[in-house]
Amino acid sequence: MRGKMDTTSGRRTEEHMEAFRSRCRDAGLKITPQRMAVYRALFESTEHPSAEVVFRQVRKTFPSISLDTVNRTLLTLSDIGAAFIVEGSGDAKRFDANLKNHQHFKCVKCRRIIDFHHGAFDRLDVPPNLMAGYTVLKKTVYLEGYCDLCKKDQNA
């Protein structure tokens, strides 16, 4: 389990930190204690934390860090591919009056959300043992990428 301490996870974390330092160098980013602390906190968490949660965690060992730095660092991490923004999060609420089965494609550029429908995606099966103790209310396939319009613009 990521984030749990066992005999090897300490070493593995250090390996990841080293890999992260390399990645920073490759991307031309400086290796600052704040950057390292934010990455470590994110990496050691299993909860897909918001900036606020990372901030509270990092501040335990780095009291002078600011929330802005955490915010900026997390965005930088996703810029260089060391982290992701969880699909869909971070936008204003979006509403949908289409009650029929369908799936969503979200354009990462213009943020349009486009319906599509693929019958096989209505009938996904999650192994019951995987979700033991959980109640699944909604089960959907979610795609992100560039929509037709934005793809055209990009070639320009």
Partner DNA sequence: CTCTGTGCAAACACTTTGCAGCTAA
Partner DNA sequence: TTAGCTGCAAAGTGTTTGCACAGAG
Nearer to a copy of itself, 39 or 62 (CB): 39
Residue 141: which of 113, 122, 114 has the closest Cα? 122
- Candidate residues 52, 68, 79, 153; the one interacting with a copy of itself per rule CB under 8 A: 52
Q: Which of residues 72-91 bind DNA (CB under 7 A)?
A: 72-73, 75-76, 90
Helices 33-44 + 9-27 axis angle, to 10: 130
CA atoms within 13 A on the CB side of 85: 16
CA atoms within 13 A on the CB side of 11: 3
Alpha-carbon distance 55 to 113, whole Å?
A: 31
- Candidate residues 7, 8, 64, 89; the one interacting with a copy of itself per rule CB under 8 A: 89
Binding site for DNA (CB under 7 A): 28-35, 50-52, 64-69, 71-73, 75-76, 90, 92-93
Binding site for a copy of itself (CB under 8 A): 2, 39, 42-43, 45-52, 54, 74, 77-78, 82-99, 104-105, 108, 112-116, 118, 121, 124, 126-127, 130-131, 133-148, 151
